[in-house]
């Protein structure tokens, strides 16, 4: 099997910079559209904040030791107890290490977590990290580029992952919103760095809002076009997305919810 090459743009020399201008983290929740993936998608989703870190968690699994929403709360609330580290790189590593340790605990046995993390380095720089069928876009409202690596099942099949012999009607849709990578599988970890200017937008899309692909890094879309593309939220999987910008307000599709948090 040909290995997927994800991006690792973590800078060991980067330091925490000043927040001369506030940054706004817009959490988008897609509308709920009935679809064939709905009965197959019973994940719980949660959001946590720690200083300049924003954590988005999707958790799934069967025969769990506790309800999924309780497990998500254990992660999103527990991460807030982490201490501030000396550098952004150390902070990111400490957060990932903590998630991995929790995943190995008996309470989380049989659970699978995919995660997106936003790191506010300064008013001028933001890092985006994720594992799982999540994707990162950056640019402006009118022109966004795909900045991460598509590690969903259609791409993995092309790399040599065997296609299951038993396929169902929903299998192709499910593949477009699934990956073999999760917390505890470092091969799928990915981090990208983004310069922030007055009109900049950084988008971290989860498996519900990440447009179906495979996607390459040579395309571009406006933010509106990104949400108009075919994605799992249109087939029964409620989606989440994090949008970071200096803009206090952003346009979202009709029926979607948005909650804004200021980092200053």
The three-state secondary structure class of 60 is strand
Instruction: Report CA Rg, the chain.
Output: 18
78: in domain? yes
pLDDT for 166 equals 85
6: in domain? no
Q: Are 259 and 241 in contact (CB under 8 A)?
A: no
Round to whole Å and give the CA distance between 164 and 75. Answer: 32
pLDDT in tens, 114-133: 999 999 999 999 999 999 99
Q: How far is CA 85 from CA 90, 184, 243, in A?
A: 6, 22, 24
Q: Which residue has the tokens 């870190």?
A: 53
Q: Reply yes or no on whether the pLDDT at 74 is more than 90.
A: yes
Q: Are 173 and 234 in contact (CB under 8 A)?
A: no
Ordered DSSP codes for 228-252:
HS--GGGGT---EEEEEES-S----
| Domain, as residue range, for 142 | 23-263
pLDDT in tens, 17-37: 999 999 999 999 999 899 999
Please tell me the total count of domains within the chain.
Answer: 1
Q: Which of 119, 103, 101 is nearest to 111 (CA)?
A: 103
Residue 230: band (very low, low, confident or very high) from pLDDT cuts 50, 70, 90: very high
Q: Are 118 and 128 in contact (CB under 8 A)?
A: yes
- Give the DSSP H/E element, type plus range, for residue 213: none
1: in domain? no
Ordered DSSP codes for 79-145:
GGGPPPPSSHHHHHHHHHHHHHHHHTSGGGTTEEEEEEEEEE-SSSEEEEEEESS-EEEEEESS-EE
CATH of the domain at 72: 3.60.40.10
105: in domain? yes
246: in domain? yes
Q: Which of 204, 151, 158, 149 is nearest to 177 (CA)?
A: 151
Structure tokens at 181: 């990578």
The three-state secondary structure class of 207 is coil
Round to whole Å and give the CA distance between 93 and 87. Answer: 10
161: in domain? yes
Q: Can you give the pTM of this predicted structure?
A: 0.96
pLDDT in tens, 161-200: 999 888 888 899 999 999 999 999 999 999 999 999 999 9
The three-state secondary structure class of 177 is coil
7: in domain? no
14: in domain? no
- What is the DSSP secondary structure assignment for residue 8, as one 8-state letter? B
Q: How far is CA 185 from CA 135, 206, 207, in A?
A: 17, 17, 17
Q: Reply yes or no on whether the pLDDT at 16 is more than 90.
A: yes
Q: What is the mean pLDDT of the chain?
A: 94
């Amino acid at each position: 099997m040909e290995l997927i090459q994800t991006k690792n743009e973590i800078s060991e020399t980067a330091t925490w910079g000043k927040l001369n201008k506030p940054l706004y983290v817009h959490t988008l929740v897609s509308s709920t559209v009935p679809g064939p993936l709905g009965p197959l998608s019973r994940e719980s989703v949660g959001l946590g904040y720690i200083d300049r870190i924003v954590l988005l968690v999707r958790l799934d699994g069967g025969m769990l030791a506790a309800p999924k929403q309780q497990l998500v709360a254990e992660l999103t609330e527990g991460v807030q107890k982490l201490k501030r580290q000396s550098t952004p790189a150390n902070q990111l590593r400490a957060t990932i290490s903590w998630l991995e340790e929790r995943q190995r605990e008996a309470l989380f046995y049989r659970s699978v977590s995919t995660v997106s993390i936003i790191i506010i380095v300064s008013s001028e720089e933001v890092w985006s990290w994720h594992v799982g069928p999540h994707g990162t876009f950056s640019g402006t409202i009118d022109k966004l580029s795909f900045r991460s690596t598509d590690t969903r099942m259609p791409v993995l099949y092309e790399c040599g992952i065997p296609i299951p012999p038993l396929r169902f009607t929903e299998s192709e849709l499910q593949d477009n919103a699934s990956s073999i990578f999760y917390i505890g599988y470092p091969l799928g970890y990915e981090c990208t760095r983004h310069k922030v200017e007055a009109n900049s937008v950084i988008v971290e899309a989860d498996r519900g809002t990440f447009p179906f692909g495979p996607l390459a890094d040579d395309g571009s879309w406006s933010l509106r076009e990104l949400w108009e593309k075919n994605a799992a939220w249109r087939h029964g999987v409620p989606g989440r997305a994090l949008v970071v910008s200096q803009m206090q307000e952003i346009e979202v599709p009709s029926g979607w919810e948005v909650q804004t948090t200021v980092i200053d």
